[in-house]
């Protein structure tokens, strides 16, 4: 199984400042057949199900604010919130869908400093 390791476990950022979450996969999730990175990011607020933010490592879902962006290579990925808003307080998970079983990172809790 591909192991997804997120860092940090939590971070506190001032309103309007940048938040950066890292996700590392134990093997490449870049497909040679379609040249796509099989990596997604989710946001989960308390008491709610996860919400898809980004797929293919950098494709933002419709309706997701453009302050959220994803980047990365075959094994190292980053979710960036360019200007943290109060409504962004949540836990963020990365997920690889390159191979079965799909696996998730342990989550990063984002709070307001």
Partner 1 sequence: EVQLVESGGGLVKPGGSLRLSCAASGFTFSSAWMSWVRQAPGKGLEWVGRIKRNTDGGTADYAAPVKGRFTISRDDSKSMLYLHMNSLKAEDTAVYYCTTDYGYCTDGICWGGFFDPWGQGTLVTVSS
Interacting residues toward partner 1 by CB under 8 A: 31, 33, 38, 40, 42, 48-52, 55, 61, 93, 95, 97-107
The three-class DSSP label of residue 85 is coil
Residues 6 or more apart whose CB falls under 8 angstroms from that of 33 comprise none
CB closer to partner 1 out of 19 and 38: 38
Token pair belonging to 39: 């990596």
The minimum distance between CB 73 and partner 1, in angstroms, equals 18
- Torsion sign (Cα): 56, 28, 71, 109: positive
Residue closer to partner 1 by CB (options 9, 17) is 9
Helices (H), the chain: none
- State which residue, 86 or 100, has the beta carbon closest to partner 1: 100
Shortest distance in whole angstroms from residue 104 CB to partner 1: 4
The distance of closest approach from Cβ of residue 16 to partner 1 in the complex, given in angstroms and rounded to an integer, is 29
Task: Provide the CA 54 distance to its chain's centre, in angstroms.
Answer: 7
Choose between 14 and 59: whose C-beta lies nearer to partner 1.
Answer: 59
């Amino acid at each position: 199984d591909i192991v997804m390791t997120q860092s940090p476990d939590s971070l506190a950022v001032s309103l309007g400042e940048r938040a950066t979450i890292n996700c590392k996969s134990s093997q490449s999730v870049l497909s040679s057949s379609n040249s796509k990175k099989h990596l997604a990011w989710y946001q989960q607020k308390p008491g709610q199900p996860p919400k898809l933010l980004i797929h293919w490592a950098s494709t933002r879902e419709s309706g997701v604010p453009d302050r959220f962006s994803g980047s990365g290579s075959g094994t190292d990925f980053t979710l960036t919130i360019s200007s943290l808003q109060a409504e962004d307080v949540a836990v963020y998970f990365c997920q690889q869908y390159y191979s079965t079983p799909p696996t998730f990172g342990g989550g990063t809790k984002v709070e307001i400093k």
